[in-house]
Structure 1
Amino acid sequence: MNPLLRAEQAVLGAVLIDPGQLTRLDWLAPDHFYRPVHEALLSALRMLRNDGHPALAADGPVPLSWVTDAVDEASLHVRGLTPSYAHTLISACPRSEHAPVYGRMVLEGAIHRTIAQHAIRLHQAARADVVQGEVEGALGTADVLTGVLTDLARRWGIDPRPVAPTAEPTAAAAVPPLQADQVSEDEQFLLAVLTEQPRAMDEVADWLRPEDFADPAHSQVYRCLGALHHRGEPIDRITLLWEAQRRGLLADGTLSGEQLTVIGDSMVPGSADWFGHRVMRSSLTRTAAASARAIQALADDEARGPGRLINHALHALGPLDEVRARWATAHGGLAPKQPASAPSAGGPPPARVQAARARSTPRPTPSPPAGLSSVPAAAPARSPTRGHP
């Protein structure tokens, strides 16, 4: 029998045997149960407790009304619950005092199930955004998933922090990207514009990366363009061909002369910024789908503990956060900031914090005495070279 089902039956049986166990299970929510009948029954038991059921104050054996009243109340919200099943739950509980342990098993199953469900929603939102030419659905769903992971971490009693798994999960086979031909065409047109238009790299170099290209060959071409731009060398079809040869991309078959010729001959009037945004949008939705598949594979691993699962799932969202930050930069905005954590109640008093800040504040440099030659001002610092991967 499914261990999770046995745990759900055992925790409910413990409460039916001993109503006082409810006070030890306040952290367990009805929606943590997989079976709707179990969810309805826990809600009914809590309602009876809040209404002051006589069984809570009874000395000696628990009256039968505790069981029958709970079944009657739960039956108003779900079908298929009978008094005989309530006695099945009682017989499924080895020891009523172990109710918190059984409840923890139920919560562990709920964490795996909840994370898997939200990962599926993220994957569906990413694919829908590809069709609609948007990113808002994937970004919004990713925010919801992050909030769910944070809440589950609080319920499990850990600090939510991204942790890389020791071994990458075996994800399901990747689904072929939607509108792959359109994505490849956008990438080719962008590379053509970057090759033929002087200064076009200035429009995209700050936020577009080689890994944003779906085609590996296009990624390598953009890497060559970025190297030429980084060194301040002129960019055209001849210098691009030379850079590809210097990197050994022609010798090892990564690129062919025909591919570079096609890019050079694609005389496309347009803006590098416009095509770059289209490539970036494709990269964001593609990364969201990949993160969703990785998280779903993590959640499907029943041997992975809840704490590790939550932190590994947060780590799997890291690539999406990185692409999202560059997407915000491309649109002239700032990446969304994570809400700052509230200071702990046991932290240092405000007066001590203010004093520490005052000590660390640099004091103004006194002006030199009159009659002494002043130190010549330092030469202005050289502006850093534009970085490019």
Structure 2
Amino acid sequence: MDPLLAGEQALLGAVLLDPRQLRRLDWLEPRDFQRPAHRALFSVLRELRDAGHPGFAADSDDGEVPLEWLTDTLALAGERTRGLDPSYLHTLVAACPRAGHAPLYGRIVLEGSIRRTVTEHAERLLAVAEAGLVAGEVEGTAHQVDVLAGVLTDLAGRWGTPPRAQKPAAVPAAAPAAEVSEEALADEQFLLALLVHQDGALQEVFDWLRPGDFADTGHGQLYRCLGALHHRGEPVDPVTALWEVRRRGLLADGTLTEERLVPVLGAHLVAGSAEWLGEQVLRTSLTRTAAESAKRVTVLAADERLAPGQLIGQALHALGPLEEVRARWRTANGLPSPGRATAQAAPDVPAARVNAALSRSTPQQRAAKAASPAASAARAGTASATRHRPSSSSPLRSTT
């Protein structure tokens, strides 16, 4: 038996048995129902209530509900969806154990709606991010991230909890790494060669590019070595870089091999813009991180052991690494750093929603509660015009 379906049927049955229960469900919306027929029914029930239907004002304490309440509901809802007949209304009524439990049935409906909504937007973010990896585009991903963060904030308000990131009690499984194109890996390799052989190149990216931005683990570790040399004020060149690699045991543990180091340390006469290439690496890192965060949120939404408040908090936590990459992306492109949507104060919650939240508490708990972009484009255009990636036959790609 599907608990969500049972909850939706019990709620609609409660309103059909006692139309006055709608007063206690103002925090619920038709879109919260999973089945289209149920959405149509709940919408019609509200419309009849708002129109002053006699059935809503009738006294149902004696169990008598005007027949017009049922027939008018069926007639109007039947115009909007298929499959509704008198027998299904009887099914809904029979599915309701107690009409007075309608707010708790509504909680089941809202919880299911929250899980579906989070999953839907996480899957949308994943699709946009994967498309961005292929197209080398980041704006669509950034927009979809803002949409997901805004949805989580809105859902937190509806559930009656603050939109606050919550670290999972257990370490979540790592999301599968997104596939990265060969061109992106070639960009990483060429950037490292520039950083090793071009004086001052590392300073152009050191403030905002991190080892984790490299899709290839070996590339990220080599960048870490170069950054350590730069941080200590030591010169960066092929000899010092190789020595730092050895000191960190990256050759001994197989993270890097001499064959992989040759294209980076053995190249010479390398020309190009480290800043522009670093932005490409960071662009790929942003979309890759977005895809991984989206997968993690999807896994959280599928975990029925998480209460909606926990789901929302842990989903916001899963977006944390992504926001950190976005902050560095804005720094690299000279863009302003807007405040995070999740850090804003929650808007005033209507009294009906507060009552819905209180319906989830025990009496004791309730008593306790009472007590600039153009400049960046110009820079990228200039850098790309001066960037020269050596071909296999070019002396710039030769290794010694």
TM-score (norm 2): 0.83
Q: CA deviation at 1:152?
A: 0.6
1:156 equivalent to 2:159? Answer yes
Q: Share of identical aligned residues, percent?
A: 59
| Paired residue secondary structure (1:166) | coil
Gaps of at least 5 residues in structure 2 are: 350-400
Write out aligned runs for 1:337-352 (5 A).
337-338=339-340, 340-341=344-345
- Deviates most, 250-259 or 19-28: 250-259
SS of the aligned residue for 1:55 comes to: helix
Q: Given the alignment of the two structures, is residue 330 of structure 1 paired with residue 327 of structure 2, yes or no?
A: no
For the pair 1:92 / 2:91, whether they are aligned, the reply is no
Shift of 1:168: 3.3
1:249-283, Cα deviation, whole Å (9 max, x unpaired): 12222222222222123444211001101100010
Greater helix percent: which structure?
2
Equivalent residue letter for 1:17? L
For 2:6, what is the secondary structure of its paired residue? helix
- Tell me the distance in 2 between the aligned counterparts of 1:48 and 1:33: 18
Q: Confirm or deny: 8 A CA contact 1:210 1:220 kept in the other structure.
A: yes
State the partner residue of 2:46.
46
AA aligned to 1:261 is: V
In 2, the alpha carbon distance for the partners of 1:142 and 1:88 equals 42
Q: Which residue is equivalent to 1:130?
A: 133
Q: 1: CA distance between counterparts of 2:168 and 2:54?
A: 51
Tell me how far apart the structure 1 counterparts of residues 172 and 257 of structure 2 sit (CA, whole Å): 34
Once the 2 structures are TM-superposed, how far is the Cα of residue 301 of structure 1 from its aligned partner? 0.5
Find the aligned partners of 2:106 and 2:346 in 1 and give their Cα distance. 29
Task: Give yes or no for contact 1:213–1:219 (8 Å, CA) kept in 2.
Answer: yes
Matched, 1:303 2:305: yes
DSSP 3-state at the match of 2:16: helix
- 1:238 maps to 239
Where does structure 1 differ by over 4 angstroms across 4 or more consecutive aligned residues?
342-345
Instruction: For 2:235, give the aligned amino acid.
Output: P
Greater Rg, structure 1 or structure 2? 1
- Picking from 280, 285, 294, the partner of 2:296 is 294
Amino acid at match of 2:279: H
Over 3 Å counting, the alpha-carbon distance change for 1:39 and 1:113 in structure 2 is same
In 2, Cα distance between the equivalents of 1:217 and 1:326? Answer: 22
> Displacement of 1:209 after TM fit?
0.2
**277, 280, 283: which one pairs with 2:282?**
280
Equivalence for 2:207: 206
CA displacement at 1:335 relative to structure 2: 2.2
Q: Distance in 2 between matches of 1:73 and 1:170?
A: 48
- The alpha carbon displacement at 1:222 in A equals 0.1
Matching of residues 1-389 of structure 1 within 5 Å:
1-59=1-59, 60=62, 61-170=64-173, 174=176, 176-179=178-181, 181-267=182-268, 268-338=270-340, 340-341=344-345
SS in 2 for 1:52: coil
Deviation at 1:342, TM superposition (A): 7.4
Question: What displacement does 1:68 show?
Answer: 1.1
> CA separation in 2, counterparts of 1:17 and 1:157?
28
Q: How far is the alpha carbon of 1:87 from its aligned partner?
A: 1.0
Deviations 1:223-262 (A, max 9, x none): 0000111111111111100111111212222222222222
Question: Would you say how many aligned residue pairs link Structure 1 and Structure 2?
Answer: 343
Gaps of 5+ in 1: 346-389
Task: Give the AA of the match of 1:36.
Answer: P
Q: Which has the higher contact order (CA 8 A, sep 6+)?
A: 2
Cα distance change on mapping 1:344 and 1:155 into 2, 3 Å: closer
Q: CA RMSD in A?
A: 1.7
Displacement of 1:343 after TM fit?
9.6
Q: How far is the alpha carbon of 1:129 from its aligned partner?
A: 1.0
The 1:309–1:344 alpha-carbon spacing in structure 2 relative to 1, beyond 3 Å, is closer
Letter in 2 for 1:41: L
On the 8 A contact 1:171/1:293 being kept in 2, the answer is no
Tell me the distance in 2 between the aligned counterparts of 1:182 and 1:300: 35
1:126, 1:286 within 8 Å by CA — same for their partners in 2? yes
Structure 1 residues 343 and 46: CA distance shift in structure 2, 3 A = closer
The amino acid across from 1:86 in the alignment is: L
Contact map agreement 1:189 1:266 (CA 8 A) in 2: no
- 8 Å contact from structure 1 (residues 16, 67) kept in 2: yes
Q: d(CA) in 2 for partners of 1:8 and 1:198?
A: 67
